[in-house]
Structure 1
Amino acid sequence: MVQLAVEPIQLPNLTAQDLIEEFTYNLGRYSWADLFNVLDYEITPIVKVIVRAAIHSKESENPFKLTLERAISRVKQIQNTKRKNFVRKTFKKWGLFGMQEILKQYPEYREAMLPGDLVIKRKKVKDKKTKPRNDFRARQLAKYDIAYHTTDSSSKEFNKICERIASLTSADLKRAPILLTVTLSGEKYQYSFHWNTDEREIEKFHALANKAGVTHEQLCQYRTNSLIKF
């Protein structure tokens, strides 16, 4: 039940549906101060959504037409956005170790939710075509996305896929350089590439690194001469 006892509004115990009907038929009775004063009190998320919709209707001088289904949908949308923002902020700070911090705030949170929460959906711009990304990291994410939807969610492999997607997404958001470690004759060397290096360039470098007799000196020279973005 929703209890509102805010002066000068005097409303009895109402359900969300009752409050919607009250504003549908009697919104004109309430002043701006009446409505804004309600928001100063501790009210449930759905009541806050309904009151804000009433304020918007009064401001635009349009009839109040909010439905209970729409109000519930809006509450879920707000809660999801709040959760995603928290997860992104926490993951940015703690990386994969951030799950412990996330679970403190959201005990029911599951690791499989990370990929969806970390990917930022950008609004489509009208009349503007965007070229598909062919850089190494974007192509890797595309491949892991297929694996995510085709792998048994109860398997260890599925967990590894989720971790890999989360790691790649975080690196992509930060535009972190691509790091490849190559071991030749027992000697390890880490090569750094620009964050959006084309997948074909990485594949060429990988093929050269696997070529018999190649040396680190040759790999360094190839990267310097061929990958001018570095």
Structure 2
Amino acid sequence: MKSLFEDLSPLAPFRFFEEISAIPRASGNEAGIAAYLMRFAGSRGLSCCEDAIHNVLIQKPASPGREGEPALLLQCHTDMVAEKHGHVAHDFEKEGIHLLREGNILRADGTTLGADDGFGVALILAVLDDAELSHPALECLFTVSEEIGLEGAGAFDYTRVSARRMINLDSAEEDTVIIGCCGGLRTDLTVPLHFTDVSEDGLRVRISGLCGGHSGEDIDRGRLNAHVLMGAVLRELQSVTPF
């Protein structure tokens, strides 16, 4: 089948993105993309390893004359956010993404596109596949389950990596270098619950219509958080009447 991107140059990143888009890779379902990466490395004689949760590390020796330079780590994540329009029948566990190109616009047919971070994966594959590119020793790390809590990056055994310089390819702007990032914190709480039968006479409190946004990039915009707001409402109600 003809590629959607035959007229583009450089072609390699788009060709690899097209290939991996055909592989189901929602968070938690990265075995298929890991197998693809291992085949990619094996067919090119590159050192590679896959851990128990499908993180993949591919290593490529330095170009001639650059063996003395420090190694460079390139990192991305293989999973994607799996969302679709309500009327779309799409099984993310079994189906890849159906790409649609309209001129210079690339989108998916009723689902998320997966360019976060599929295009980061594609860029690294293009670098590894380029026999003419001059580079230091490369250590290319493809981690899993980033979208649900950076789980792959947190579980990876970093003794496998020697590089002390890293470029992360998970940004929205192709001509921008970001030298910092937003952090994340996850807290698991265990609260003892006691259930009591109540009458049917109750009050339903619902909060809706708030703005969405990215928990890191939009944190400074002063937008209301539904959980925080609900807590404040319940606290005020409790000061008036116990419940």
TM-score bracket for this pair, using the shorter chain length: under 0.3
Normalized per residue, the structure richer in strand is 2
- The higher relative CO (CA closer than 8 Å, separation ≥ 6) is in 2
Which entry has the higher C-alpha Rg, 1 or 2? 1
TM-score, length-normalised on structure 2? 0.21
